[in-house]
């Protein structure tokens, strides 16, 4: 049984802290980065012209919460990832079963080819990981996530750290002290995923 209970994870996320395995042995550490990376949910969210064309083609089918375990397992093997240990995988599947973790999947001819998952607490969504097996598959999932969060009145889309992949969507960093203030505001909003 995982030491990462639903209650422990929700308490940690509510304070801006999250766990990651730090090696192939699955040793866990807790993180609260400074600065903290966010994806904007307003008009600063950027979709490239190429991705706009791909979205118009409607090549992918997008589903939500249909294969959470498939998405987290795919993320755990993408790019030689070591931070999604067996304990993390089981703990987040448990969070999903309790309604606090969600996945957005992209499918091509019914086959899972990309997606992302994260944790949802009130008006905050904490993006954990994404993967793709087809060009643009994870990007389409991210656009679908942002549209869903906007429609539901979410305040915060936390990506923990920034990457060049996320920067193309307008991801930016803020000091942890500012992040914690924004998180406190997000936790006052009651948003359904």
Higher pLDDT, 51 or 60: 60
Strand order in the sheet with 156-160: 61-64, 101-108, 111-121, 124-132, 156-160, 36-38, 172-174
Does residue 79 form part of some domain?
yes
How far apart are the C-alpha atoms of 187 and 156, rounded to whole Å? 9
58 vs 185: CA distance, rounded Å: 35
Q: Is the pLDDT of residue 112 over 50?
A: yes
φ/ψ of residue 46, rounded to 5: -115, 130
**Count of other CB atoms within 10 angstroms of residue 33:** 17
What backbone phi and psi angles, to 5 degrees, belong to 55? -65, -35
Instruction: Write down the mean pLDDT value for the chain.
Output: 93
The terminus-to-terminus CA distance of the chain in angstroms comes to 28
Pairing label, strands 156-160, 124-132: parallel
pLDDT at 173: 97
Neighbouring residues of 29: CB distance < 8 A, sequence distance ≥ 6: 19, 20, 22
pLDDT above 70 (res 79): no
Q: What is the pLDDT of residue 1?
A: 44
pLDDT-derived band at 41 (thresholds 50, 70, 90) equals very high
Residue 191 lies in a domain: no
- More confident: 61 or 54: 61
pLDDT tens track for 55-76: 788 789 999 999 999 999 999 9
Residues with Cβ within 8 Å of residue 21, at least 6 apart in sequence: 27, 28, 82, 83, 84, 85, 87, 88
Q: Is residue 155 part of a domain?
A: yes
Report if residue 192 sits inside a domain: no
Q: Is residue 102 in some structural domain?
A: yes
In a domain, 193, yes or no: no
Cβ neighbours of residue 170 closer than 8 Å, sequence gap 6 or more: 39, 40, 44, 45, 46
Domain that includes residue 83, residue range: 6-186
Is 1 within the bounds of a domain? no
Q: Per the structure, how many domains does the chain have? A: 1
Cα–Cα distance for residue pair 152/123, rounded to 1 Å: 9
CATH number where 31 lies:
3.40.630.70
Entry pTM: 0.94
- For residue range 134-171, list pLDDT tens digits in order: 999 999 999 999 999 999 999 999 999 998 888 989 99
Percent of the chain with pLDDT over 70: 97
Report residue 18's pLDDT band, with 50, 70 and 90 as the boundaries: very high
The answer, yes or no, to whether residue 27 has pLDDT greater than 60, is yes
**pLDDT (0 to 100) of residue 2:** 58
Q: Is residue 146 part of a domain?
A: yes
Q: Do residues 157 and 119 touch, judged by C-beta distance below 8 A?
A: no
Tell which wins on pLDDT, 54 or 25.
25
H helices within 34-120, ranges in order?
Answer: 49-57, 68-77, 86-97
106: nearest Cα among 60, 58, 165, 144: 60
């Amino acid at each position: 049984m995982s030491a990462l209970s639903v209650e422990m994870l929700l308490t940690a996320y509510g304070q801006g802290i999250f766990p990651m395995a730090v090696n192939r042995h699955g040793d866990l550490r807790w993180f609260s980065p400074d600065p903290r990376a966010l994806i904007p949910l307003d008009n600063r969210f950027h979709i490239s012209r190429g991705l706009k064309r791909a979205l118009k083609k409607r090549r992918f089918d997008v589903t939500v919460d249909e294969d959470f375990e498939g998405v987290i397992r795919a993320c755990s093997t993408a790019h030689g990832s070591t931070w999604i240990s067996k304990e993390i995988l089981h703990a987040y599947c448990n969070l999903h079963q309790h309604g606090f973790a969600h996945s957005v999947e992209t499918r091509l001819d019914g086959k899972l080819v990309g997606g992302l998952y994260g944790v949802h607490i009130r008006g905050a969504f904490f993006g954990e990981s994404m993967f793709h097996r087809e060009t643009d598959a994870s990007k389409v999932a991210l656009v679908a996530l942002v549209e869903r969060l906007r429609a539901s009145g979410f305040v915060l889309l936390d990506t923990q750290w920034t990457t060049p992949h996320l920067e193309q969507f307008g991801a930016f960093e803020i000091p942890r002290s500012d992040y914690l203030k924004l998180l406190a505001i997000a936790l006052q909003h009651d948003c359904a995923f």
